Chains A and B, each alone.
Chain A
Amino acid sequence: MSTVSPPNSEQAASEFIETFNRIRNEVARFIVGQEKIVEDVLIAVVCGGHVLLEGVPGLGKTALVNTISQALDLKFQRIQFTPDLLPADIVGTQILIDKDGRKELQFQPGPVFCNILLADEINRATPKTQSALLETMQEKSVTVAGQTHQLELPFFTLATQNPIEQDGTFPLPEAQLDRFFFKLFVELPSHDEFSEILNRTGGNSAPEINSVATGQDILQMGRLLRDVPIDQPIQDHLVRVVRATHPTDPNAPDEVKQFVRYGASPRGAQAILAAARARALLDGRFHVAKEDIDRMALPALRHRVMLSFEGEADGKSTDSIVQSVVDSLGG
């Protein structure tokens, strides 16, 4: 079943951990604290997933994405989403050019043609513009004027959104949300972290970030993850967790039955599995444990669970719902 022999596997696993840690350490040179966020973002990157970062302004969301892009030797693009942004501004458009004396339409690629796309304040664009990213994020291709253009791999979108200042924003549709591998909350740094941020950014010189990994490294890491074995009872546990987010499931806890309208999709289960494999390797194990599933369930499912009107009215958070599911299944 395995594609690599044990010595190669062991070496590949070691290289995985080494590369991952190298990237993490490089990011940590500029980003103070936020270890968990950084790790989760990097896990999502190696798994080929997109990340939605949510946090109040000034917490370093954009800086984090910028730093990661610098640490990886990949093409980085940033789009500041605004209400007047058009889909063509993202994916590109056809322009009329004069070629050998003849006028013809030529596709002008948009900023989406990159390896790392920073969709800053994604919820400020209109749903039409937001939807322009659907094909890009899932199929990693762009179709303009009936012609499909493949994006260069690896490709991942790191989007940010502001939980406050909701006036003039457009909440992301469920289909769009489901395409994000993780949704991460960027929280306020601690006192020491605050102080360190000031130390690092208060001077004339900022830390220089070097690229420590290539796109091929990321792709190789992603392929390696698929070989990490998972025991059938652990996989059953994963399925139970995802299914239990649905109010109709018999294993669903009362909280889910009362406050949830729709649960997570199979895409959520895929995300958890991939992330759990990455985490297992990072933990020095060659198999996925229940602990990995439970740990990755929250960032992978929190944006895939839709609260009912009662849940919204009661001020329930999807985090507490997902946590109750994990707890009820003996996580």
Chain B
Amino acid sequence: MTKEPVNEFINSIRTRLNRHHLWNVLFWALLALGVCMTVIALFYVIPGYAVAWQAWPIVAGVVSLAAGVATWLGRRSADQAAGFADGFFGFKDSVSSCAHFATDRREGGFYDLQAQQTEALVKESDADLVRYTFPWRLAALAGVFVTLAVTLGLKGPSKAVVERMKLEQASLVQTETANEELRELIDELEKSIDDEQEKELLDPDKLRKWVDELDKTKDVKEAMRQYARLEMKLNKASQALNQRKDEKLLDKAAEELRKSDELKSLAEKLKQKKYDQVSADIKDLKPKKLTAEDLKKLSEKRKELAKLKAIAKRMAEAARKVSSKSRGKQSNSKKGNKKSSLKDGTGSQAGKSSNNNPDDGDGQNSENNELGQLIEDLEESVEALDEELEELERQDLEELEDEFEECENCQQCQQCQQCQQCEKGVRDKLDKLGKKLAKMARKRSAQAKLKKLSKKCSQCQSGVLGLAKSNQPGGKKAGQGTSDATRDQRDELVDNGQNTALKGLKGNGPSLTKVESAEDGTGVSQRRAAATQREFKRQFESFVEREDIPEDLKDGVKQYFTNIHETESPE
């Protein structure tokens, strides 16, 4: 008994069902794709970004894979197809029973009758009646989601996001450029240094390493922070080269030297802190070795020495003044320390710390003492040499010449030895002073270079800050800036009673400048506060003068500034 028609019927139904399943999976996959794409699009669009199209192929791939797996797993077996046919055509399990009986090789009797009956049913039935029901709702829903996703995908980023991204990009470029400029500046500074010792003081490799540590970043704040950190490092390095005490001493010396007309040029150089030139000048003043020839014109020799003597004397005077002042301060501070130590019972420790670090300001006291001592020693040496020459001048010239000639060969004459020793002492002292001044000149040069670098660093910060401010949406609010770039034309200022010009006789009014006396290196710098105050004032004035600002708002701003600043009433 053949079961071929039944099998064909089942296979036909199975093919149709698998095709329908494929269509269903496709529509579901389309819906899933639409939903996923929409979710991804919303993820980007809600914060204002443009949709990243790169994510969509990945989602499409995953959905396709899932659809493929679902299609494979959802394939209908012959058994399922037979069951479906029974249900669809109302065969009351005839087809599936027939198929199972055939599989189990059950034949004869009722089995054959059942097979014949099923075949007859199958022949009367048309498998084409199993039609695919198009899932309109599913398709419509999938279409809606896909359309929505594509629409959202075509939407560009919001204005704020565009500006932010621009700012980030600009910040990246700005930081990169700034870092490059800093590197170039360091190279330039290094090239400009001829002196190895000055190069050692500046240490360009360390500076380059600091700059290399700077990252190019999109974050404006981070960029500013890193430039601020670099600036701080540079300032510390600059402070390490600080020689304010010595410079002050030399300033005093310049003042002393200026009192003499002959030494004015040297004083000017010192005042202008041209220490290398001063060092060269002092070398020129070095006394030459005393010879027999010189004995004849000792007075001239003394005249030559007189200039050096005057310089040494005046510089020593200045050193003494500074030294005595310093000692006075130290004694005062010691007294203060003693008092405080008596109060808190830590006198010994306080005293120790005071001794260990006598000048907490900049640690320059030892160098100051060294320079002062050097100058004083120079004065003593010059004095001694001068006295020796005076002594020689008083002796009989011929006798002296003879002796000197002998002495020159034997080097045993006491008079001669003393004189030469004095000369040597003066030369040594002058050498030391010259070296000291040259070193100061180098330090000053290195410090200037560091300051230049620090200034460049500040410029970098300003650049980044300006970048951040310039891209902020909207105008600056009251109290935040003075930009009036939106004004097309300037109006003539009218007298609104806000006259700030003072009228009166010069020198009769109260001075707005207050001179405060304070110790060197102590106290807080007022420069930043003054700058801020000046900026506030400018903002205030520009705001008050603007006509597009309502009067009540102006009054409010005036009141605000009145409240935050202490106004001094004129005396």
B113 with A13: CB separation less than 8 A: yes
Any B CB within 8 A of the CB of A204: no
Any B CB within 8 A of the CB of A290: yes
Nearest residue (CB) in B for A277 is B110
Nearest residue (CB) in A for B108 is A2
Any B CB within 8 A of the CB of A240: no
Any B CB within 8 A of the CB of A163: no
Residues in A neighbouring B377, C-beta threshold 8 A: none
A291 with B92: CB separation less than 8 A: yes
A217-233 interface mask toward B, CB cutoff 8 Å, 1 = contact, 0 = none? 00000000001110111
A36 to chain B, nearest CB (A): 19
Name the contact of B109 in the complex, choosing from A1, A234, A283, A285 (C-beta under 8 A). A1
B106 with A287: CB separation less than 8 A: no
Stretch at the interface among A4-12, A133-141, A168-176, A265-273: A4-12
A287 with B114: CB separation less than 8 A: yes
Stretch at the interface among B54-62, B96-104, B179-187, B481-489: B96-104
A1 with B108: CB separation less than 8 A: yes
B113 with A231: CB separation less than 8 A: no
Q: Which of A1-42 contact B (CB under 8 A)?
A: 1-6, 9-10, 13
A286 CA to B96 CA, complexed, in Å: 13
> What total count of A-B pairs have CB within 8 Å?
71
A265-299 interface mask toward B, CB cutoff 8 Å, 1 = contact, 0 = none? 00000000000000000010111111100000000
A88 to chain B, nearest CB (A): 45
Residues in B neighbouring A229, C-beta threshold 8 A: 97, 101, 106, 110-111, 114
B108 with A286: CB separation less than 8 A: no
Q: Please, how many residues of chain A have a CB less than 8 angstroms from a CB on the other chain?
A: 24
Given known pairs A229-B101, A286-B117, the reply for A9 and B109 (CB within 8 Å) is: yes
A231 with B109: CB separation less than 8 A: no
Name the contact of A2 in the complex, choosing from B98, B104, B110, B117 (C-beta under 8 A). B110
A3 CA to B114 CA, complexed, in Å: 15
Residues in A neighbouring B114, C-beta threshold 8 A: 229, 285-287
B109 with A287: CB separation less than 8 A: no
Any A CB within 8 A of the CB of B94: yes
Residues in B neighbouring A285, C-beta threshold 8 A: 92, 94, 114, 117
B112 with A6: CB separation less than 8 A: yes
A230 to chain B, nearest CB (A): 8
The B interface, classified by DSSP as helix, strand, loop or mixed, is: helix
Name the contact of B97 in the complex, choosing from A1, A9, A283, A287 (C-beta under 8 A). A287
Residues in B neighbouring A3, C-beta threshold 8 A: 109
A289-324 interface mask toward B, CB cutoff 8 Å, 1 = contact, 0 = none? 111000000000000000000000000000000000
Residues in A neighbouring B101, C-beta threshold 8 A: 229, 231, 287
Name the contact of A231 in the complex, choosing from B97, B107, B117 (C-beta under 8 A). B97
B332-348 interface mask toward A, CB cutoff 8 Å, 1 = contact, 0 = none? 00000000000000000
Given known pairs A10-B113, A229-B114, A287-B114, the reply for A1 and B106 (CB within 8 Å) is: yes
A233 with B108: CB separation less than 8 A: no
How many chain B residues sit at the interface, stated as a range, is 20 to 34
Residues in A neighbouring B97, C-beta threshold 8 A: 229, 231, 234, 287, 289
Q: Which of A215-263 contact B (CB under 8 A)?
A: 227-229, 231-234
Any A CB within 8 A of the CB of B190: no
A327 CA to B454 CA, complexed, in Å: 88
Nearest residue (CB) in A for B100 is A231
A69-88 interface mask toward B, CB cutoff 8 Å, 1 = contact, 0 = none? 00000000000000000000
A116-134 interface mask toward B, CB cutoff 8 Å, 1 = contact, 0 = none? 0000000000000000000
Any A CB within 8 A of the CB of B93: yes
A169 CA to B261 CA, complexed, in Å: 152
B86 to chain A, nearest CB (A): 8
Residues in A neighbouring B98, C-beta threshold 8 A: 287
Residues in A neighbouring B116, C-beta threshold 8 A: 6
A13 CA to B114 CA, complexed, in Å: 12
A75 to chain B, nearest CB (A): 32
Nearest residue (CB) in A for B110 is A286
A13 CA to B109 CA, complexed, in Å: 11
Q: Which of B81-100 contact A (CB under 8 A)?
A: 92-94, 96-98, 100
B328 to chain A, nearest CB (A): 104
Nearest residue (CB) in A for B83 is A233
B111 with A289: CB separation less than 8 A: no
A291 CA to B87 CA, complexed, in Å: 11
Which among B92, B109, B114 has the greatest number of chain A C-beta atoms within 10 A? B109
Residues in A neighbouring B113, C-beta threshold 8 A: 6, 9-10, 13, 286
Name the contact of B96 in the complex, choosing from A1, A9, A13, A233 (C-beta under 8 A). A233
B108 to chain A, nearest CB (A): 4
Top 7 nearest A-B pairs (CB, nearest first) are A2-B109, A231-B97, A289-B92, A289-B93, A286-B114, A2-B108, A286-B113
Using a CB–CB distance below 8 Å, which chain A residues touch chain B? 1-6, 9-10, 13, 227-229, 231-234, 283, 285-291
Q: 21 A-B contacts, Cβ less than 8 Å apart?
A: A1-B107, A1-B108, A6-B113, A6-B116, A9-B110, A10-B113, A229-B101, A229-B110, A231-B101, A232-B104, A233-B96, A233-B100, A234-B97, A285-B92, A285-B117, A286-B114, A287-B93, A287-B94, A287-B98, A287-B110, A287-B114
